[in-house]
Structure 1
Amino acid sequence: MCRFIETIRIDGGVVRNLAYHERRLNDTRTHFWPESTGLQLTDFLPPIPENGRHRLRIVYGRCGIEEVTCTPYILRPVRSLALISANDIGYTYKSADREALNQLFAQRGSCDDILIVRQRLLTDTSIANIALFDGKRWYTPQHPLLKGTKRAELLDKGILTEKNIRMEDLPSYSTVRLFNAMTDWGELELSVRHLQPIF
């Protein structure tokens, strides 16, 4: 049975980007189950913690919301990325089944995370979208594995520009940023020198 997840940030009692998460959830349900009705996530929110950063995980499927959990969140530092080729991987929808991603992550060696390369194009890390800085603008891969909610927000605000970024383009960039629903823009950043090819 197909199960999908939304991971939502709660910060100081504030639920972040709920509209983006709700849109993706309903788009996913419409794709897999065209007969499904739209859901409003506000109907399923648990008591919201007033202090600190928390991770709200919503699991859903054909019949609707199946599980809601809320746990404290601690940011995992990323200082290096292993470039790993996976030409056939797909993760268009945020599935609860992350086995393919976990298998790639296990190949990271001494690096903190992986950066997946598909058909010579950069995509995502195991848990985050990316953007690269060329000295003037921030570019994000045009075809990521998953179109994240934070990515959608940054595109809507004009902070990011979509672009195909090839392996051989990396010398044109100085910095890579990682971001997702749980991570602020600019919170995780490293030099492109810390990207290590592992093929």
Structure 2
Amino acid sequence: MENKVYFETIKCEDYEIFNLEYHNKRVANTIAKNFDLGEYIYPLSNKLLRCKVIYNEDEIIDINYFEYKKRQIKSFKIVNNDNISYSKKYLNREILDNIDKQGCDEVMIFKQGYLTDTTISNIAVLVDNIWFTPKKPLLQGTTRQRYLDSGFLKQLDITFDILKKASKIALLNAMIDFDIIEDYSLSL
């Protein structure tokens, strides 16, 4: 049987590795073994880098560094897909990469009537001055978990009606942290 291959995206800047503890926890949860990713990551410059660690149950397969440029995301397509599953950070992202954005910058994926994630990040919505994140995201993101642990984020089953009431949304991932988007459009 072929081993599953996974990856972690880790932010590095000024030779610093960000939130390593949370990435180590996710790797341990993914393969039920402890890896100290800090033993393998050596940022190559002081620039903002996206470190991509590729691994399987047995070993670190490869580590790559890419200079990071943030995408501007202002328009979202709502996608309903009850069959989508991405519970571990698999290297094969075909299921996410093949979602048709229909001219929008990104999609918001709903599953069984509830918001889950976008293709590149977890999501949070500001409703009545409280930041909520989906109870059942597609992927348990490291940044999402940090904000839940701090008490800043609360979990909620977010319906489309709740999404429409949001005064702001935020995208969350290892590279952009908690990126608030105030001016955005939704299309069905």
Using structure 1 for the length normalisation, give the TM-score: 0.89
CA displacement at 1:50 relative to structure 2:
4.2
Identity of aligned residues (%): 31
Structure-1 residue corresponding to 2:97: 102
Post-superposition, which runs of at least 4 consecutive aligned residues in structure 1 deviate over 3 A? none
Structure-1 residue corresponding to 2:163: 170
- 2:172 aligned with 1:196, yes or no? no
Which whole-Å CA distance do the structure 1 matches of 2:28 and 2:85 have between them? 20
CA displacement at 1:135 relative to structure 2:
3.3
SS class of match (1:110): coil
Structure-2 residue corresponding to 1:25: 27
Amino acid corresponding to residue 28 of structure 1 in structure 2: T
Are the counterparts in 2 of residues 52 and 72 from structure 1 also a CA contact under 8 Å? yes
Amino acid corresponding to residue 185 of structure 2 in structure 1: H
5+ long unaligned stretches in structure 2 = none
SS class of match (1:83): strand
Amino acid corresponding to residue 127 of structure 1 in structure 2: I
Cα distance change, pair 27–89 in 1 and its aligned pair in 2 (3 A): same
Which whole-Å CA distance do the structure 2 matches of 1:152 and 1:80 have between them? 25
> Which of 46, 50, 53 is the aligned partner of 1:51?
46
Residues 9-58 of structure 1: CA deviation (Å, up to 9, x unaligned): 0022211000000010011111xxxxxx4211122113x24422100000
Which whole-Å CA distance do the structure 2 matches of 1:88 and 1:3 have between them? 21
SS class of match (1:84): strand
Which whole-Å CA distance do the structure 2 matches of 1:163 and 1:131 have between them? 10
Are the counterparts in 1 of residues 168 and 180 from structure 2 also a CA contact under 8 Å? no
Which whole-Å CA distance do the structure 1 matches of 2:149 and 2:28 have between them? 19
5+ long unaligned stretches in structure 1 = 31-36
CA displacement at 1:194 relative to structure 2:
0.9
Structure-2 residue corresponding to 1:39: 35
Aligned residue pairs: how many?
A: 186
Which whole-Å CA distance do the structure 2 matches of 1:190 and 1:82 have between them? 16
Structure-1 residue corresponding to 2:64: 69
CA displacement at 1:180 relative to structure 2:
0.2
Structure-1 residue corresponding to 2:13: 11
SS class of match (1:77): coil
